[in-house]
Chain A
Amino acid sequence: MNYLIIGNSAAAVGCVEGIRQQDPDSAVTLVASEPYHTYSRPLISYLLGGKTDQARMRYRPAGFYEVNKVKTLLGKTATAILPDKKQVTLKSGETLPYDKLLVAAGSSPSVPPVKGLDKVKNKTAFLTLDDARYLEQRVKADTKVLILGAGLIGLKCAEGLRGRTPHIAVVDLADHILPSILDTEAALPIQRHISGQGVELVLSDAVQSFDRENAILKSGRIIPFDLLVVAVGVRPNTDLVAQAGGKVGRGVATDTFCRTSLPDVYAAGDCAESRDITTGADRVLALLPNAYMQGECAGIHMAGGEKPYDKAIPMNAIGFFGLHMITAGSYDGQEYRSDSGGCLKRLFYMDNLLRGYILIGDVGRAGIYTSLIRERVPLSSIDFELIKEKPQLMAFSSSERAKKLGGVRI
């Protein structure tokens, strides 16, 4: 068997580890545009903040490829999949054969259609190690940074840069930060916290045009800047699969084994869709745990095993300047809330199931809530009143606990 993997982040690593659970010896080749050993992408903001370094950013140890007998072609870009010939062509002109192929091509930064953006000289996205290095080199104590987008990427970038410069403004059209994860109310305490750290949040506004180093906003305000970070969103890299005739929605369409509609071609990670079990909808869940588990599921299946990935849910653990929040699932149905001591908790439930939750401040043991969503635990089978108060195993029946903690056979 000859396995080929396009990509070198979480999904690709998950695939390598999935393949090797089943097939210790067959050839695995991994091709990726970035010339680096696999690194943890979400750590680029921690790198800027001085909380990690390049050695510790390795997502797997230095000997990972050798131990797993993976041949790497790093710094090479795949340009086409030829499903009839079972080949992948590279920009360099080379052709790579495959028996089973994983596409873990990730995503690219979206470029907003703003007048004058192409004339802005000092600008970057914030997705890669190279982006972080670019900022590391250029941002000094007097550098004025403007960040477009108050989502996860934009705000983590702001946090990472804050120790380098006090001049950071973040602009977003939404009326609150993290619009894809939080509603206005839940976002408020985090907004206050981030503003309190000296990052200016400019919400319900957008850049209308750029005039060299000035951003002219819809409100009429002018924000001068030295450096622009564009973090308005990402676009899944679906072109390889789409051009080969594979089915593509917002991301590459996949089944529960991460197979695409093309024979022997799989997709995983930020370029692929998975089924969100809290809504039943297929969507791109661009989250590192999801990427790893999709990749692993694909790898196992590529190597002849079967371990469906059918428990995907949206979920996020994020912290800004020491304030932590954890969210999961969908925010629909009835709501239970508590707001005490600066800690917000909101649980959403419907049809005897926990559907989603938001925790801000006190996030301890949140995974117990996550498991209720992921495992679709009927709320009637647990003491819901008790678990509303705090996540605890006490809310389960003693026989269920005997299984969880006592190793009693199910």
Chain B
Amino acid sequence: MKRIYVNEKWCLGCHLCEYYCAFANSGQTDMAKALQGVRIHPRIQIEEEGGVSFAVSCRHCREPLCVKGCITGALTVRDGVITVDQNRCVGCYTCILSCPYGAVMPSESGTAVQKCELCLQNAGGKPACVRGCPNQAIVYEEREEEAL
């Protein structure tokens, strides 16, 4: 399956991916209206320190500890993509305890969690972070790979 990969050498630390993610998941059609004056809650997050930066989002692990540990069954895998049913999630944060990448986070309401779902539920096609990255530091590709 296609996954998101990050090459930190190309990351500019511009945080645009975070804004595109927040917009794609806002359900709105106008980016300025969706994000102006709003504290965003993106599902992809930039880490930066001493000139190095990179984006972190769900790896859609083959051995997903978040799904196996989920107490409600709200986190599921279908065709390799891990999604959360926020209607069933109660926000116990066992997945936050489990995820080795720190890629599951509380949703804005705090009563459920959110994570990258590869924009399959919203924009379609390429994930918004990939489309919005100005330097191809985030790519969406099919690769032969090791088990995550």
Kindly state whether residue B79 has any CB partner on chain A within 8 Å: no
- Chain A residues bordering chain B, tally (CB within 8 A): 53
Residues from 263 to 292 in A contacting B, C-beta threshold 8 Å: 288-289, 292
Kindly state the separation between the CA atoms of A10 and B48 in the bound complex, as whole angstroms: 39
Closest chain B residue to A322 by CB distance?
A: B110
Cβ-defined contact, A365 with B102, below 8 A: yes
Min CB gap B85→A, angstroms: 9
Closest chain B residue to A398 by CB distance?
A: B8
- Chain B residues bordering chain A, tally (CB within 8 A): 42
Interfacial chain A residues near B95, Cβ < 8 Å: 367
Kindly state the separation between the CA atoms of A10 and B73 in the bound complex, as whole angstroms: 10
Kindly state whether residue A132 has any CB partner on chain B within 8 Å: no
Cβ-defined contact, B93 with A371, below 8 A: no
Min CB gap B49→A, angstroms: 5
Cβ-defined contact, A319 with B92, below 8 A: yes
Q: Please report the number of residue pairs spanning A and B whose Cβ atoms sit closer than 8 angstroms.
A: 132
Kindly state the separation between the CA atoms of A188 and B91 in the bound complex, as whole angstroms: 23
Cβ-defined contact, B7 with A409, below 8 A: no
Decide: A43 near B71, CB < 8 A? Known: A317-B92, A318-B92, A386-B49.
Answer: yes
Cβ-defined contact, A289 with B56, below 8 A: no
Cβ-defined contact, B93 with A317, below 8 A: yes
Most chain A Cβ neighbours within 10 Å, of B49, B105, B106: B49
Q: Report which of A370, A403, A405 forms a contact with B97, defined as CB distance below 8 A.
A: A370
Interfacial chain B residues near A386, Cβ < 8 Å: 49
Residues from 82 to 108 in B contacting A, C-beta threshold 8 Å: 87-88, 90-102, 104-106
Interfacial chain B residues near A392, Cβ < 8 Å: 47, 49, 102
Cβ-defined contact, A293 with B94, below 8 A: no
Cβ-defined contact, A368 with B49, below 8 A: no
Kindly state whether residue B28 has any CB partner on chain A within 8 Å: no
Cβ-defined contact, B47 with A46, below 8 A: no
In the complex, given contacts A326-B97, A363-B97, what are 18 additional A-B residue pairs having Cβ atoms less than 8 angstroms apart?
A42-B71, A43-B71, A56-B88, A57-B72, A315-B97, A364-B96, A365-B96, A366-B97, A367-B96, A367-B97, A367-B104, A368-B101, A370-B100, A392-B102, A394-B47, A401-B8, A405-B8, A406-B5
